[in-house]
Structure 1
Amino acid sequence: MKKIILSAFMLMGLAFSTQAQEISKNALGLRLGDNDGFGGEISYQRGLSDNNRLELDLGWRNSNNVDAFKLTGIYQWVWNIDGGFNWYAGVGGGLGSWSIDNNAIDDSGTFAFVAGNLGIEYGFDEVPIQLSLDIRPELYFNSDDFRNDNFGPDIALGIRYQF
């Protein structure tokens, strides 16, 4: 009887340990996408618990006579699909600044935005690299002449070094 009870506890422990997900404590890399020219972002993820993390991104733009940057913060919930595959969802927002300088317009300003986040990622076992694909719908406030609308669906591919 003792062997059966011990075996049952071992099987339960094995079942619970296989459900545990492994998100890294830190990840640093690039998030490459295109939302009105914000094609590149330096991306940092900080694990807060087993299934929650904070992502901070600094994006910049330097094209078509427009210089801009934006800082984004997203709180994410992470769920394991299988092995190194996870999917995640999050909410957050950010701030940015822009400047237009051409012959007809010379203007600048700031903006704020709220954002959602939905994506999938894969963390490799052999090397500490994480690949991700996500969509981040952003709703802008006080964007003036920089944007023609107040909505931007930001789709991006991320590559990060986990440590």
Structure 2
Amino acid sequence: MKKVILSAFMLLGLAFSAQAQDISKNALGLRLGDNDGFGGEVSYQRGLGDNNRLELDLGWRNSNDVDAIKLAGLYQWVWNIDGGFNWYAGVGGGAGSWSYDVNGVSDSGAVLFAAGDVGIEYNFDFPLQLSLDVRPEIYFNSNDWREDNFGPDIALGIRYKFD
């Protein structure tokens, strides 16, 4: 029974690794999401191989009380679902700065964070990529401007692909 289960996992792994990937060498665009208010990020992806890439995002967050800017870097693995559909997962982190003003109380500081990333994307036949992902972030800072140190960032991405 153990041999059957092991063989099934090996065949599944072979199937995922044998599928052709549609990772562009470069992609530049926007990642629009929600984390402490409406947020937008300028997003750049750089293909590193047939099934992995680096994503860099420069973002800003603002709400009624909190303003923040951050730089995130993620290493992603990409798997083909069918045709232009891919799903991906990644890990990374980043740094940023924040300030808040709540009822006359102000503070500001810097933050480091660790992040994961899981999403789905579609690559069109022309140089356009659409994606939807969730990026859970865990913040490490001395002044806690949030009630907790966790932020789930859900976003829609639109990128122009080029070589």
Q: Distance in 2 between matches of 1:102 and 1:114?
A: 26
Preserved CA contact (<8 Å) 2:65 2:102: yes
Q: State the partner residue of 2:45.
A: 45
Count of residues in correspondence between the two structures: 145
Classify the secondary structure of the residue corresponding to 2:134. Answer: strand
User: After TM superposition, where is structure 1 displaced by more than 4 Å over at least 4 residues in a row?
Assistant: none
Q: State the partner residue of 2:128.
A: 129
Preserved CA contact (<8 Å) 1:87 1:120: yes
Q: Is 2:30 the partner of 1:30? A: yes
Matched residue type, 2:148? D
Shift of 1:111: 0.6
After superposition, residues 83-94 of structure 1 pair within 5 angstroms as 83-94=83-94
**Deviations for 1:47-81, whole angstroms, at most 9, x for unmatched residues?**
00010100000111233143210110000000111
Q: Distance in 2 between matches of 1:91 and 1:141?
A: 16
After superposition, residues 10-159 of structure 1 pair within 5 angstroms as 19-37=19-37, 39-101=39-101, 104-125=104-125, 127-142=126-141, 144-159=143-158
Matched residue type, 1:20? A
Q: Taking structure 2 as the reference length, what is the TM-score of the superposition? A: 0.83
Preserved CA contact (<8 Å) 1:84 1:123: yes
Matched residue type, 2:50? D
Q: Distance in 2 between matches of 1:88 and 1:66?
A: 31
Unaligned runs of 5+ in 1: 1-17
Larger CA deviation: 45-54 vs 137-146:
137-146
**Deviations for 1:107-138, whole angstroms, at most 9, x for unmatched residues?**
1101111011100000001x210000111111
CA RMSD of aligned residues (A): 1.5
Preserved CA contact (<8 Å) 2:56 2:72: yes
Q: Distance in 2 between matches of 1:152 and 1:57?
A: 16
Q: Taking structure 1 as the reference length, what is the TM-score of the superposition? A: 0.83
Which of the two has higher C-alpha Rg?
Answer: 1
Shift of 1:99: 1.4
Q: Distance in 2 between matches of 1:136 and 1:92?
A: 10
